[in-house]
Structure 1
């Protein structure tokens, strides 16, 4: 799910109201579906879709996101980017902006993300009724 042939490059995305727009020049490094409580809350849905991209491939096109710092279980702090107008969560990065990667929230991409073969993490927190396709890698918690 991370070679250039499967992604319509450049990837584009935005918040719900369109005030904050971004573009990604290269295919994502990693994609996964997360069923943890934090991802469900931040996406206001049954699971979160995380699309890891290199910071060097990311360009903010319009708008100025706001950031909400969120402590993680590891003790690090994630800066969670969101639109100040509509509140849509757009991406996460480690505090200080010096991380090599950003985690784009998959629902903010303009093109749909094919989830048919991506790994699922924190499946022990999966909501009843969510069906994971046969043969897809699953992890009870974080992958090691």
Structure 2
């Protein structure tokens, strides 16, 4: 049983009709997400701040089997503090990061949510690595807030997302 606050009505969202589509700025890389995303959260780690040139990264975790990518991407590699090798896939023409993933973990991929064609429905299930968040970013009392990576392997964030999201048909 989680002690996390329940999602309030203003923390709910409606999942658009599938597939979700997106791509890079120049259009060379395009993608479709053909199944409902597993979770959407904001990461405030310093690596995401550097990579996005912003206050945080937007991560939309999807099942890799539901993701269809058209166009060639280049990949960056870096060693995370945890020892895992992180891979970032981006358009080699315009430089926009499309996704990130961990080497040796083929079952998990995070789409950089700002690359979606329609971002109007996105509401994060929570925030991770808030110990390094920018001081001007406010986190509400009904939002999940992790100073570092969630120790529960994102279980509470995924459960919150499931509570928040409604399918496009309203069911």
Answer yes or no: same fold by TM over 0.5: yes
C-alpha RMSD of matched pairs (Å): 1.8
Larger displacement relative to structure 2 (48-57 or 121-130) = 121-130
Q: Are the structure 2 counterparts of residues 117 and 102 from structure 1 closer, same or farther at C-alpha, using a change threshold of 3 Å?
A: closer
Provide the residue aligned with 2:82 in structure 1: 74
Q: Are the structure 2 counterparts of residues 115 and 77 from structure 1 closer, same or farther at C-alpha, using a change threshold of 3 Å?
A: same
CA distance in 2, matches of 1:135, 1:66: 38
* Contact 1:106–1:113 (Cα < 8 Å) also in 2: no
Q: Using the TM superposition, give the Cα deviation of residue 73 of structure 1 relative to its aligned residue in structure 2, in angstroms.
A: 1.3
Larger displacement relative to structure 2 (29-38 or 131-140) = 131-140
Matched, 1:32 2:37: no
Candidates 95, 107, 112, aligned match of 1:105: 112
Q: Using the TM superposition, give the Cα deviation of residue 8 of structure 1 relative to its aligned residue in structure 2, in angstroms.
A: 3.1
CA distance in 1, matches of 2:97, 2:124: 24
SS of equivalent residue, structure 2 residue 47: helix
SS of equivalent residue, structure 2 residue 141: coil
Provide the residue aligned with 1:6 in structure 2: 15
CA distance in 2, matches of 1:51, 1:79: 15
Provide the residue aligned with 1:83 in structure 2: 91
Provide the residue aligned with 1:138 in structure 2: 145
TM-score, normalised on structure 2?
Answer: 0.75
Structure 2 unaligned spans of 5+: 1-13, 152-171
Using CA pairs below 8 Å that are at least 6 residues apart, which structure has the higher relative contact order? 2
Q: Are the structure 2 counterparts of residues 75 and 122 from structure 1 closer, same or farther at C-alpha, using a change threshold of 3 Å?
A: same
* Contact 2:125–2:143 (Cα < 8 Å) also in 1: yes
- Equivalent runs, 1:27-66 vs 2, <5 Å: 27-61=36-70, 63-66=71-74
Q: Are the structure 2 counterparts of residues 17 and 35 from structure 1 closer, same or farther at C-alpha, using a change threshold of 3 Å?
A: same
CA distance in 2, matches of 1:8, 1:46: 29
The total of aligned residue pairs comes to 139
